[in-house]
Amino acid sequence: DSGVTQTPKHLITATGQRVTLRCSPRSGDLSVYWYQQSLDQGLQFLIQYYNGEERAKGNILERFSAQQFPDLHSELNLSSLELGDSALYFCASSVAQGATGELFFGEGSRLTVL
Amino acid sequence: GEDVEQSLFLSVREGDSSVINCTYTDSSSTYLYWYKQEPGAGLQLLTYIFSNMDMKQDQRLTVLLNKKDKHLSLRIADTQTGDSAIYFCAESMVGFQKLVFGTGTRLLVSP
């Protein structure tokens, strides 16, 4: 158990809909990262938050947004969903900027868009 | 730019050694990592190496880094069926703002 909790574990929805994925980081971790894992694109970095503020942005679509709340949990919002958004979405957390940069991953939220 | 590449698949017999290879393009990488992903689970850090090191050994795991060729390898000695998983290499740069992951190598260990 990594200590990172993601909900829901599975989600099935239709094209055009909007979903919210939730992540609770490990106790004490200030940084939260979102990654998308799909069969054709591998593991892609989406966005990072540190103590409530956006710190780095990757290949995140404009239809997607995220935020980190004062209690440090984070949400990833996916809107106007398309078939190609079907993927496993991982959240990871880390201490501020630790010596090794180790990330602790949740078990992921599997999104299926029909 | 950032690009990390791995071979997609490796099959070995139980008890043999496995060697998983990775190439990266960004010479400013600070740390290089190996993560393991078992079915239905998230990624778990196996080991990491700082970019000024050539080798790191951790029990059955040996990491070799060739900075000149930008090549990283993970050797698993006495591979067990429980080692069957997808192995990702990853690199990070100063500030550890994000990790860039390779495509992953699926290791299948047969009895």
The pLDDT tens digits for B58-74 are 999 999 999 889 999 99
Residue spans of chain A under pLDDT 70: 96-101
Q: Is the pLDDT of residue B28 over 80?
A: no
Q: Nearest 5°: CA angle at A67, between A62 and A72? A: 160
Q: Can you tell me the mean pLDDT for B91-95?
A: 72
Element (H, E) at A35: strand A31-38
Decide if A25 touches B, using CB distance below 8 A: no
Quick check: A32 contacting B, CB < 8 Å? no
Is pLDDT of B50 > 90? no
**A22 and chain B: CB distance < 8 Å anywhere?**
no
Picking from B86, B85, B27, B77, the residue whose alpha carbon sits closest to that of residue B52 is B27
- Taking the CA atoms of A4, A7, A13 and A15 in sequence, report the sign of the dihedral they define: negative
Q: Confidence band (pLDDT; 50, 70, 90) for B95?
A: low
Tell me phi and psi for residue B83, to 5 degrees: -85, -10
Of A55, A58, A105, the CB nearest to B42: A105
**Contact A90/B at CB under 8 A:** yes
Could you say which of A97, A107, A108 has the minimum Cβ distance to residue B96? A97
**pLDDT band (50, 70, 90) for residue B97:** low
